[in-house]
Chain A
Amino acid sequence: MEETERTKEEEEEEERERRTVGEVWSWGAGTDGQLGTARLQDEHLPQLLLSLDFAPKTISQLACGGAHVIALTGNYGKVLTWGRGTSGQLGHGDLNNCLHPKPVKLFETLPISHVSAGWNHSGFVSDNGRVFTCGDGSFGQLGHGDYQSHYSPVEVSFLGSKNVNQIACGMRHSLVLLKGQSGAPIYGFGSGKHGQLGVSNDRIRRSFNLPEAIMGFEDVEILAIIANGDHSAALTADGHLYTWGRGFSGSSDAYHPQLLSSPLNFTQVALGWNHALLLTDKREVFMLGGKHHGLLSDPQKMTVELHSPIQGTPYQSSDDDKRVTILAKVPDLNGIKVVQVAAGSEHSALVTVAENGDIMTWGWGEHGQLGLGDTCDQMSPRIVCLGDVLPAEQTQLSVYCGSGFTFAIKSERIL
């Protein structure tokens, strides 16, 4: 791996970053270098990343994919990537894994404002609303009109004249959200096999390699788009959630965006491969699906789950055990308020409100992705101990999940 050339300015910037307070922690599956620990192994407990490459104060967004990570730094919108690079998803111009954060050259002169990491592909939105993708393009998920992969970011020229705000990358598909546009605000491309593009009833056409407008949002103000696995979702400014793609808990796939019927007001949404976490304005967390959640390796537990569904309503039960729980409150939080949710493929994480600002995790734990020191599954949220290097009162926590791993950032609280 070649050494990054550093200018004097960059060195000074790093020195400033070193003096600011903050910590980056990672745990879980690590055999592709995605944990940034410079070791190719799983970690069952949170690892403090001491490398100067991690400058928590300046990381404004972290996106974790199948086995790679994209960090957007606040300073000048620079982008760092590391982890699995075998499909070109790191954008480094090669197909190598990378054990340490390395800048994406193209974006050193082109400020980026939003990033997303899919299974093996990556998406970047520039300050001026342009979209770039790289990585695996086998299903058209890069949106370039073909099925080729790219190991450096390439602009999605089809969207050239449109002003893009966000990108969301799933397993084999991508969504983009346009800025204050009249007409369709959301476009999708890549695999549509399970309806995740929301654009086709025609099951014969399984993939789209150019962005397709998703209908049904013409008069709706969209706050955020989310993609993971074969799921897609959009959160509206007035707190409603639309989902499409693969059905949750074995229910049938949705080929068009479906409005979730609920009196709750949602403020944040995270998607896994079989579940969704919904945060409400009352700072409570609900889960959609999650049939496999924390139950992957033990069929015995699954039986128990079928007969004693998690607490909360609305809840739908049926003789058909494929449709167990529709929407349920996450158990055992005992009124603890939540400020952030994150979802890996089969695990979940949340941040509770400070004073007692804690990170809690639950779900599948085989690779240590829960950070609890073992490989056990957890049916309800457990507190992760990050160590008390920084006093909790002065910091704020953020948590991010990749497929089988988790990152946490503890940064100086902005008062």
Chain B
Amino acid sequence: MSYDDVEIEDMEWNEELQAFTYPCPCGDLFQITKEELKIGEEIARCPSCSLYITVIYNMEDFMGDSDRNSKKNLEPSKQQPVAVA
């Protein structure tokens, strides 16, 4: 059973993991890649446990060679962590 339904705009792009992520209650992150989104996958899994969430998004936004497009429209603009001392 899906733990939760999460809109793609509430997920954060993680450069290191190359995936959209959302907090998992175990402490790790639910993850789904752009490639998975392109082929219509809607389940984001946590690598540390059995839980998964259902990602709500428009598949068209990720179709085709749309890396640039998806970057512009889908990544939450202010969610790139920038560390400042």
Contacts and interface: CB of A to CB of B under 8 A. Distances in A.
Interface string B1-12: 101000000101
Nearest to A83: B27
A410 interface: no
A298 B79 CA distance: 33
A366 interface: yes
B27 A148 contact: no
A404 interface: yes
A193 B9 CA distance: 11
A150 B84 CA distance: 5
* Secondary structure class of chain A's binding surface, majority of residues: loop
Contacts of B76: 138
A24 interface: no
Given A150-B84, A152-B85, A366-B50, A404 B10 contact: no
A402 B25 CA distance: 9
A314 interface: no
A403 B83 contact: no
Contact of A88 (B1, B12, B26, B83): B83
Nearest to A94: B83
A82 to B, nearest CB: 14
A87 interface: yes
B79 to A, nearest CB: 4
B69 to A, nearest CB: 22
Nearest to B49: A366
A364 B27 contact: no
A299 B1 contact: yes
A299 B82 CA distance: 40
Nearest to B80: A138
B27 A66 contact: yes
B81 interface: yes
Q: How large is the interface on A (under 10, 10 to 19, 20 to 34, 35 or more residues)?
A: 35 or more
B44 to A, nearest CB: 15
A149 B26 contact: no
Nearest to A172: B23
A360 to B, nearest CB: 20
Given A150-B83, A151-B85, A403 B12 contact: no
Interface stretch (A27-35, A55-63, A237-245, A350-358): A27-35
Q: Which of B12, B82, B83, B85 has the most CB of A within 10 A?
A: B83
B83 A367 contact: no
Interface string B42-84: 0000001111000000000000000000000000101111111
Interface in A60-87: 66-67, 84, 87
A227 B69 CA distance: 36
A95 interface: yes
B35 interface: no
A148 B25 contact: no
B28 interface: yes
Contacts of B1: 296, 299, 302
A136 B81 contact: yes
B78 A138 contact: yes
A149 B23 contact: no
Contacts of A407: none
A346 B83 CA distance: 30
Given A29-B48, A296-B3, A171 B23 contact: yes
Contacts of B28: 29, 31
Given A29-B48, A366-B50, A367-B49, A87 B81 contact: yes
Contact of B50 (A84, A87, A147, A297): A297
A63 to B, nearest CB: 15
B78 A273 contact: no
A400 interface: no
B23 A66 contact: yes
Contacts of A297: 50-51
B52 to A, nearest CB: 10
B26 A403 contact: yes
A65 B1 CA distance: 25
Given A29-B48, A67-B27, A367-B49, 17 more contacts: A31-B27, A32-B27, A34-B27, A93-B85, A138-B80, A149-B81, A151-B83, A151-B85, A193-B10, A296-B3, A296-B51, A345-B26, A346-B25, A366-B50, A402-B27, A403-B23, A403-B25
Interface of B: 1, 3, 10, 12, 23, 25-28, 48-51, 76, 78-85
Interface of A: 29, 31-32, 34, 66-67, 84, 87-88, 93, 95, 119, 136-139, 147-152, 171, 193, 273, 292, 296-297, 299, 302, 344-346, 364, 366-367, 402-405
10 contacts: A67-B27, A138-B79, A147-B78, A149-B84, A150-B85, A345-B25, A366-B26, A367-B26, A403-B26, A404-B25
